[in-house]
Structure formats: structure tokens, C-alpha cells
Structure 1
């Protein structure tokens, strides 16, 4: 290739590269995934400490939360890594021909002997002009070559990250399963919670059998005890609009909107991951826990007089009716089966939210009437 041809191709390539609109890269996906791995390692250390902690329920609850946050971050990091790898791969494939030309130009400039580079059909003046053009273009070509090398190295790093993620995820899933089992046992062994009443199983059974709606059951809760239920002095009015969500997830259906079956309900539906931990958003009395109607397992909490928080759709429920529990106390686990490692890795790049396969229904009733739960909870962010 002559010097004129080499310079001409180089100028064209430089223009083409400069015209490519490259979207600003988000925070390094590899770094995000590594941070998530560190979170999971920290959770493993916390689990060891939680076993010997005085308040084991609180310590284990924090440990499960740490594992859930770490696994969430790991999935998000892998998703972003997969998207970034796909973006880079598409970019490299789209410019395959130009990259080949670029490499050819760089190779020609690098290997051509100096006497040949100085020759020009128009004589010394042409050679001087070509040399000036070449002096301007060569740094640009080097920059593009550096960018190309960076992209290739990033693709390699991201692929290696995804290959190594399987063991990290496996350890994290094993750890959270162990923490959940320990938490269930710690709650069963707990004897230090105050009680407002003791539920009468016969009265409770009669109430359930005679109830056809959630509203009807909620209005008859006072009939569950053979003694009058002591008044509560709880007051969470100052927390209105700021209560934490009881589970990590996203709002799937708002109050009054139709669900997949076309049914409109006054509460909200939150999509969660399988086996997600559900906690009480505030200090409250457990008014009921167990199966109810067609709602699956239900937990009904009373944080203050004439107010009920109803959580339904759980697979497991904790505690006993009548107990007064602190804010953040676990009240149950969501159902579903945790996907295998391969399934998690395959879903990490689609960003569709398919991994949130479980739904928790949340309803709030004040003075016997339902109100929009979003007036009480912080739902602007994923929980």
C-alpha cells in the first residue's frame, strides 16, 4: 500500500471512528459484581456471629437481610455485566470491517521502511504534505487502537466474571438458606415477647368458618379471645408515608388497579423473589396468623387502635396471635422455589424481572375501611 493510500484510509477511518456515538458507560459492572461478592462474604461472617448473639432473632434477621441484599446486588451486577458485554460485542461486530482496515493501516505504517515512506509521486513537496497528514493521523489511530484493546479486555474480564460467579452465588444461596433455618428456630424458641391476649382456637375456627371476606374477618377479630383484648397505646401517625416496605420487591399492582385475573383490590401487590423474608414494618400486635379464605397464609398486624396491616400470600408465618413484636420482626417467608445457579445466570441478562415470581398482597384498614397502602409506605424505591 502506498503512502497516499495509507494516509487516505487512515483519514477515512479516523472520521468514521469519530462519528460513532458511544453511550456513556455506567458504573463499572465488574466492580459492582465484586462489591456484591464482598457483601455475601460479610454476610457469611455475620451468620457466624449471629449464632452466639444474645438477641439471636434480631441478629439472624439482619443476617438474612444482608444475604438478600448481597444476592440482589450480585444478580444486578451480573445483569449489568451481561448487558455491557452484549453492548461491546455488538459494537465490535458492527465495526469488524473497519477494525480490520485500521489494523492494516497500523501494520503498514509500522512495517514500511523509512525510504519507502518518504517517496511520493509529486516529489518532496508531496512527501512533506503527506508526512504532516501522517503526523496528525497517527496519534488518532493509536487512540483508536487503545480503545479497541480496552474493549476487548473488558469483554474478556466480563466473561471471566460471569464464569466465576457460579461459586459465589452457590455459597450465597447456601448461606441464606442456613440463616433462614436458624432464624425459624430462633423465633420458635423465643419466649420474651409481651402478649396482649391469648387466642381461643375454637372461637378462631368459628370466626374463620363463618367469614366469606377479608373485611368480615378483620371486623370480627375481637371475637378470637375468650377475654376482652386489652387496649393498645400504640401510635405510628408520625410515621405515615415513611414506613419501610415489609419485603424487598417492587409494586406490581397499585391500590384499586386490576390484577392478572381482572380483580380490583384496595391493597397493593408486591412482586418478590422466592423465599424472601417478610418483616413487620413497625411495632405491632399480631392479631392473626395462619391460612384464611383463598388468600394463603395471612398475617394481620395492629400497630395502633383502629388500624390493621394485612399481609397475605406467605408460605410460612412466624409468631403467635397476641404477641407484641418490635419493628423489623420477621413474620414470615414468601413461597416459591429458589432457581438453580444456571437459571439465575441465564436470567441475569434479560432484565425482565422474571426472577420475582412471588406476590405479597398488602392491605391497610383504618376504622374498618381500606386505605391506599402507599399513603403509609415508602414505595418509591425497590424494597
Structure 2
């Protein structure tokens, strides 16, 4: 269990270190993160709370793979930069090598002999004494650049095995997590879903707004009082439920000119989505053309809608704690060759899945960025 307590601090420390290290060191640190995740996965079966432990393992793998991709991308960019520099300096390097060769080619008396006699010889010696350190400095810089190129190329050539192990590890962790969630019996339940009532509600729904509004009005039987933290205390500081980039903000038009009140996020395939707060599951399953949808109710009248997942976890009526897995994004993990290709071209266009987030207060949608931190001004 101690390993799980260290996992997230490790990721944070490594993240700080990456900001201050060169590309090669950044990639090595990322590899260490993946190794730590592998160790944690091996220990997860003995954890008392397997769902929590495996959630941390999946996050650790995702963070390590993200960091490794970033490190490889930086390494590739740096290698290309050095290559361009060395190419542009070919003439200068040739002259440098020629000068060094001529300085070291003859015996000292010949090198120091000057046709103008002792005075000229003295001046030549002084010039040589001034020039030689500069030439040596240029040689040292050239040697360092060439050594860095060798290191970066070696790192990239050896990355395939590390990536393969990481992708296999995160897939195993996701599979174990799905099993652990299926076996979970410890979640409190506020009510039991009426499948007929839910089916009728879906059949009569034409929009997400209509469905969410109907949920607000829907009375459920067997409601139990379960104390949940006041969600308004976290307004504006909630962490995003998945590692992602914002594609479209609230009210921004898409390619078809459609404007939605929520956020559209770009995620990597199979990314884990978690509950940002403790909440009751009001709905989970397919809805309209949104794919699988999860609707959470942190408190009466407040709904968080997450749409577009491949798989959703839990049952309507259950109360999930903050950070609990609620779903997985779809898609397929890219092949090793594709990841390395994306790294080498510096694009990193590997966020192929989209998650839609909508927040509703009462029956009205509000800008999710009034609740979630998205680095809007960053």
C-alpha cells in the first residue's frame, strides 16, 4: 500500500523535474514513472480498496506515457535542431579541423619559426596562445553536440520497448479496474432505478437539455439521506475529470455552426474519466447521439453531464466518491510506430477522442468553466 501513497507525489515531482531537465533526462524520468506504475500494478491485488488502488495505477501509467511522449517529442526536436546547426556549420567545422590539424602536424621548432625573426616568432607565439584556447573551446562544443545527438538517437531507438511495456501495463490495469468495479459492493445507494421509467423518459426525449431537465423534476422512490460535501465549496477549482485539452469552450461554434453550452475536450484513446466530486449517479448509459452518458448529481438541482464515453461504470442511484472511475473513453491505443512517428514530426496529434461536459444549475446550463479549472487564461 505504501507504493500507492507514493505514486502521485512521484508523478508531481517528476513533472517539476521535467521542466528543469534536458529532453533526454525528461524521457528517462518518464520511463521511471512507468516502472513505478508497473510495480504498483503488481501490488494492487493485495490492496484493501482495489478500485482506488487501480485508479491510481491507471493514472500513473497515463501520466508516465504522456510524459514519455513529451520527452521523445522534445528529444526529436532537439536532435533536429542540432542536426540543422551542424549542417549549417559544415564549412566552419572543416576549417576548424584544418586549423587544428596544421597546428599539431609539425614539430614545435618548425611551428614557432617565423620569417621575420625572433620578434615575429614572439608575436606568432602570442597569437597562437590566444587562438588555441578558442579552437579548443569550439572543439569541445562540437564534441558535446555530437555526443548529445548520439544520446538522443539512442534514447529514441530504445523507446519502443518502454512504450510497449507501458501500453501493455495500462491496458492490464484498465482490465483489472473494470473487474474490480464490477465486483464492488461497498457503494451506498440512495435509490434503485426504475428501468421502465427510465426507458419512457429516454423515449420521450429529443434533446440532452430536455432529458436533463426531466431528471431534475423526476421523483425517485426510496431516496435515502446521504450526506455529501457541499459542492459549491469547490466551484471554480474542480479538477477536470480526465487529462485533456479544450477543443471548444461554452458557446463556441463547431464546424457545422452549432453552439453548445458545454465544453468539448480532446482526450487520448481509452483515457480514464473520474468523478470530480462525490455525487449520486442519476443516469448512465447511451443517450441520443452522445454515445454513453454519465449524469452526476452532487446536490439537488446541480447536474454534471459527461457524454461520449465508450464505457461507463456504476448504476443509477449509487453514490460515488470523489475521484471514483465513471468511464473510459473509446478508440484504440496507437501502435508504437505511430507514437514514435508523432514524436519525430513534433505534432503530438494523438488526442483522437472527444468528451462533452455540461453543467446544469436547476434547468439552466451554465459555463462549465465557472466550476472547472481549465487554464482558460493560460
TM over 0.5: yes
8 Å CA contact 1:199, 1:225 repeated in 2: no
Q: Distance in 2 between matches of 1:221 and 1:231?
A: 18
Q: 1:26 to 1:282 in 2, by over 3 A?
A: closer
**5 Å matches for 1:192-231?**
192-221=186-215, 227=221, 229-230=223-224
Secondary structure, in 3 states, of the residue corresponding to 1:217?
Answer: helix
Q: Distance in 2 between matches of 1:151 and 1:73?
A: 24
Residue 89 in structure 1 maps to residue 83 in structure 2: yes
8 Å CA contact 1:274, 1:337 repeated in 2: yes
Q: Which TM-score applies when normalising by structure 2?
A: 0.91
8 Å CA contact 1:232, 1:304 repeated in 2: no
**5 Å matches for 1:1-383?**
27-221=21-215, 227=221, 229-230=223-224, 233-234=227-228, 235-380=230-375
Deviation at 1:232, TM superposition (A): 6.4
Q: Distance in 1 between matches of 2:101 and 2:20?
A: 33
Larger radius of gyration: 1
Q: Distance in 1 between matches of 2:193 and 2:308?
A: 22
Runs of 4+ in structure 1 deviating by more than 6 angstroms, as ranges, are none
Aligned residues: 357
| Cα distance per residue 1:249-287 (max 9 Å; x no partner) | 111111111123322111111111000000000100111
* Aligned residues: CA RMSD: 1.6
Q: Which TM-score applies when normalising by structure 1?
A: 0.90
8 Å CA contact 2:192, 2:222 repeated in 1: no
Deviation at 1:192, TM superposition (A): 0.8
Q: Distance in 2 between matches of 1:26 and 1:111?
A: 43
* Unaligned 5+ runs, structure 2: 1-18
| Cα distance per residue 1:200-245 (max 9 Å; x no partner) | 1111111111111111101112576662645665411111111110
Secondary structure, in 3 states, of the residue corresponding to 2:241?
Answer: coil
Secondary structure, in 3 states, of the residue corresponding to 1:134?
Answer: helix
Q: Distance in 2 between matches of 1:222 and 1:115?
A: 98
Q: Distance in 2 between matches of 1:224 and 1:370?
A: 18
Q: Distance in 1 between matches of 2:373 and 2:89?
A: 46
Q: Distance in 2 between matches of 1:353 and 1:364?
A: 30
